């Protein structure tokens, strides 16, 4: 019954710990390894124009809105003394800058950090209704009819029909009757818009999308337009130049449809230019931003929400259970004797500051000198507490002395001796000298060496950067550590040293 309870508990702890961690990795994209960086794109839209004198300025700029395959992590808008509003509806998202009076050249910026994520957002838009046939100008009507009829004959379905139309409009030597139409499209509308205008004649649902190719170092570029036709199931994207289906890689869709347009009221010499640069960002930051976008509250309550100094404290504190686990293994599985239960963990923590070799050397130095002084104090026949207090005082003096001497010798690492927990050192000295007297120097050194061995292993484990990162980003993994520790709490097998201790019994 108790065993079952234990098993259930450990499984539950593991499930919670691993489950939560898996969620964070899978959904929020938190990195499993330290210092994992990821590529993000810094995109900047630059609007420049000359303000007309004596008139208000209104600028509207379509903005990317949940682009498929990308996440907009950060946005900021720069416009000196401009009022800013962003509007969002089914037709998309738009930024509106306004100013009552402006003079001379004006510059407005929109900057976004765009992160490419693996998941493509499924196209959830409803099946569009068939568009009404536009009122084509009379002289174009037969041309368009002819074009559509010809395309229909040479195609099998909506997609190939649209492709035919595009190919004919882009033919190097277009049919003579088409020339006028192409000219018309090129002057009044852009090609994509023209294609969807023509496709409407066959009542094919079509729309224009605009987007940006993400190339590092790209400057002064513009949005590219593509045509999408709906084949009854989903929107298919077509290149307006050759009718090829599919978007290129690294293409972020900026705007769908043409309800929102870029416009500047009260300005002349208007230009809109985009530049793109690749940058590296800590994966953790990215995940954090994404979590906020997704409305997940987990990151809000993560350790990253703490002030940086507190974060650093927890980076260390979270490793202590691992150190304690090392003690569990060393004592209950191996059977190493140590002074005090968790004293080695505290020594290991001090080693973090001093580095291992120096830590060991300084520790042995202080404890050794302390033992000598303790032996002297022994002769004075002091009571326990005053004796401990005097040993503590000597330890502090020894530490200060060591620091000064090391500093004079130019060994700066000697200064870190101040980071040792002196109360722990005092207790070590006291216990070691008691053990020395009662059980002999052999036992005292055995336990002392055991303590240092466990401290060293604890230090090595606690100093693995990957583990540190893992526990800080996924503190729930401590539940797994807890589960394993609990399991060891019921371990009733031999300790490794007992195999040696009872070896005489094993021979029979």
Partner 1 sequence: MFSTWLNLKRAGVIGMNRRNADFILRYNERSLYPLVDDKLRTKQLAIAAGIAVPQLYGVIEIEHDIVNLPGIVKDYKDFVIKPAHGSGGNGIAVIIGRINERFQYNNGSLLTEEELEYHISNILSGMYSLGGQPDQALIEYRVKFDPLFESVSYRGVPDIRTIVFRGVPVASMVRLPTRLSDGKANLHQGAVGAGIDLTSGVTTRAVWQNRPIDIHPDTGSAISGLTIPHWNKLLTLAAQCYELVGLGYLGVDVVLDHELGPLVLELNARPGLSIQIANGKGMEKRLEYIDRLSEIPEKAQDRAALAQSLFKAEN
- What is the binding site for partner 1 (CB under 8 A)? 332, 335, 381, 383-385, 434, 438-439, 489-496, 498-499, 501-508
Q: Closest CB to partner 1 among 98 and 329?
A: 329
- Considering the complex, state which of residue 180 and residue 439 has its C-beta at the smaller distance from partner 1: 439
Distance in Å, CB of 396 to partner 1, minimum: 21
Shortest Å distance, C-beta 379 to partner 1 = 11
Cα-based distances in Å from 182 to 3, 170, 207: 82, 9, 19
Q: Which of these, 414, 384, 411, 388, lies nearest to 400 by C-alpha position?
A: 414
SS3 percent helix, strand, coil of the chain, rounded to 5, is 50, 20, 25
Residue closer to partner 1 (CB basis): 138 or 438: 438
The H-or-E segment that residue 255 falls in is strand 251-256
Give the rounded distance of the alpha carbon of 294 from its chain centre.
14
Query: In angstroms, what is the C-alpha Rg of the chain?
Result: 37
Helix (H, G, I), strand (E, B) or coil at 109: strand
Cα–Cα distance between 476 and 503 in angstroms, integer?
Answer: 42
Shortest Cβ 505–partner 1 spacing (Å): 5
264 near 58, Cβ under 8 Å? yes
* Residues 6+ away with beta carbon under 8 Å from 312: none
Cα–Cα nearest to 347, from 320, 372, 369, 370: 320
**Shortest Å, Cβ 216 to partner 1:** 58
Please, what is the minimum distance in Å from the beta carbon of residue 332 to partner 1?
Answer: 6
Within 8 A by CB and 6+ apart from 135, the residues are none
Output 171 or 439, the one with its CB closest to partner 1.
Answer: 439
Minimal distance in Å, beta carbon 435 to partner 1?
A: 10
Least Cα distance to 370 among 419, 436, 311, 320 occurs for 436
266: number of CA atoms within 13 Å, CB side? 18
**Could you tell me the smallest distance in angstroms from the CB atom of residue 445 to partner 1?**
15
Closest CB to partner 1 among residues 46, 495: 495
What does the buried/exposed string (b/e) look like for 410-447 if buried means 16 or more CB atoms within 10 Å of the residue's CB?
A: eeeebebbbbbebebbbbbbbbbbebbeeeeeeebeeb
The span from the CA of 287 to the CA of 283, in Å, is 6
Rounded least distance, CB 389 to partner 1, Å: 12
Whole-number minimum distance, CB 400 to partner 1, in Å?
27
Bridge partners (DSSP) of residue 251 are: 213
Residue placing its CB nearer to partner 1 in the complex, 319 or 425: 425
- Residue 432's Cβ-side half-sphere holds a number of Cα atoms within 13 Å equal to 29
Q: Which is nearer to partner 1, 184 or 431 (CB)?
A: 431
Tell me how far the alpha carbon of residue 131 is from its chain's centroid.
44
Asked if 336 and 450 touch (Cβ cutoff 8 Å), the reply is yes
**Residue 218 or 387 having the CB closest to partner 1:** 387
In Å, how far from its chain's centre is CA 116?
12
Element holding 147 (H helix, E strand):
helix 141-153
Which residue, 298 or 382, is less far from partner 1 as judged by CB? 382
Residue from 343, 364, 363 nearest 458 by CA: 343
Output 272 or 388, the one with its CB closest to partner 1: 388
Residue 145 or 393 having the CB closest to partner 1: 393
3-state secondary structure of 258: coil
Shortest Å distance, C-beta 423 to partner 1: 14
Query: Measured from the CB atom, is 321 or 335 closer to partner 1?
Result: 335
- Determine the 3-state secondary structure of 296 from DSSP: coil
Q: Which residue has the tokens 């650093």?
A: 312
**In the complex, minimum distance from the CB of residue 421 to partner 1, in angstroms, rounded to a whole number:** 18
CB of 376 to partner 1, least distance (A): 16
Q: Which is nearer to partner 1, 185 or 454 (CB)?
A: 454
Question: What's the closest the beta carbon of residue 437 comes to partner 1, in angstroms?
Answer: 9
Q: What is the DSSP letter of 241?
A: T
């Amino acid at each position: 019954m108790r065993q079952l309870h234990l098993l259930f508990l450990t499984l539950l702890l593991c499930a919670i710990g691993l489950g939560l961690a898996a969620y964070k990795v899978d959904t929020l994209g938190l990195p499993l390894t330290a210092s994992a960086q990821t590529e993000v794109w810094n995109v900047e839209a630059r609007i420049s124009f000359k303000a007309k004198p004596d008139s208000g300025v209104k600028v509207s700029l379509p903005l990317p809105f949940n682009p498929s395959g990308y996440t907009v992590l950060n946005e900021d808008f720069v416009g000196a003394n401009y009022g800013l509003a962003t509007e969002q509806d089914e037709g998309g998202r738009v930024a509106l800058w306004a100013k009552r009076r402006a003079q001379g050249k004006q510059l407005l910026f929109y900057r976004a950090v765009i992160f490419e994520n693996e998941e493509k957002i499924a196209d959830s838009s409803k099946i569009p209704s068939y568009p009404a046939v536009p009122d084509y100008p009379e002289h174009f009507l037969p041309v368009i009819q002819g074009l559509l009829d010809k395309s229909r004959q040479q195609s099998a379905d909506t997609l190939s029909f649209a492709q035919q139309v595009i190919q004919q409009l882009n033919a190097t030597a277009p049919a003579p009757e088409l020339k006028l139409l192409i000219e018309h499209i090129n002057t009044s509308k852009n090609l994509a818009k023209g294609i969807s205008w023509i496709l409407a004649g066959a009542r094919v649902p079509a729309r224009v999308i605009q987007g940006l190719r993400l190339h590092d170092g790209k400057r002064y570029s513009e949005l590219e337009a593509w045509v999408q036709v709906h084949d009854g199931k989903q929107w298919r994207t077509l290149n307006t130049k050759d009718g090829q289906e599919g978007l290129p890689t690294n293409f972020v869709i900026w705007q769908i449809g043409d309800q929102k347009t870029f416009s500047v009221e009260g300005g002349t010499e208007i230009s809109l230019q985009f530049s793109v640069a690749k940058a590296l960002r800590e994966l953790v930051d990215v995940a954090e931003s994404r979590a906020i976008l997704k409305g997940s509250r987990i990151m809000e309550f993560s350790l990253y929400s703490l002030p940086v100094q507190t974060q650093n404290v927890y980076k260390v504190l979270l490793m202590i259970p691992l150190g304690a686990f090392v003690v569990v293994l060393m004592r209950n599985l191996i059977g190493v004797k140590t002074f005090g239960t968790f004293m080695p963990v505290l020594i290991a923590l001090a080693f973090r500051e001093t580095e291992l070799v120096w830590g060991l050397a300084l520790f042995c130095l202080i404890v050794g000198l302390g033992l000598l002084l303790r032996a002297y104090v022994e002769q004075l026949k002091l009571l326990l507490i005053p004796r401990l207090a005097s040993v503590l005082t000597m330890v502090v003096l020894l530490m200060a002395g060591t620091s000064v001497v090391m500093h004079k010798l130019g060994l700066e690492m000697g200064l870190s001796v101040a980071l040792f927990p002196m109360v722990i050192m005092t207790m070590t000295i006291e216990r070691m000298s008691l053990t020395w007297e009662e059980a002999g120097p052999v036992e005292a050194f055995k336990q002392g060496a055991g303590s240092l061995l466990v401290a060293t292993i604890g230090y090595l484990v606690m100093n693995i950067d990957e583990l540190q990162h893992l526990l800080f980003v996924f503190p729930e993994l401590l539940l797994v550590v807890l589960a394993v520790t609990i399991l060891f709490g019921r371990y009733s097998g031999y300790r490794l040293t007992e195999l040696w201790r009872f070896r005489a019994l094993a021979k029979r």
